[in-house]
Amino acid sequence: MLVLRILAGIPVGNINLNADVNGDGKIGLPELGYILQKTAGLRPSGT
């Protein structure tokens, strides 16, 4: 939900940049894609 809020421009609290999957220093669409793939079981554990 935080990624969707960020993409919508809604202010959020503290953001953990360890969730930045592509190393661009931001939380955005690549992170949302990663989360959706993990929850759908399309990414193996540990990646």
pLDDT above 90: residue 1: no
pLDDT above 80: residue 25: yes
| pLDDT (0 to 100) of residue 45 | 74
CA–CA gap between residue 34 and residue 23 (Å, rounded): 13
| pLDDT (0 to 100) of residue 27 | 93
| Percent of the chain predicted with pLDDT > 90 | 66
User: Among residues 18, 38, 40, 21, which one has the least CA distance to residue 30?
Assistant: 21
In DSSP notation, 15-31 reads --GGG-SSSSSS-SHHH
| pLDDT (0 to 100) of residue 46 | 67
What pTM does this model have? 0.74
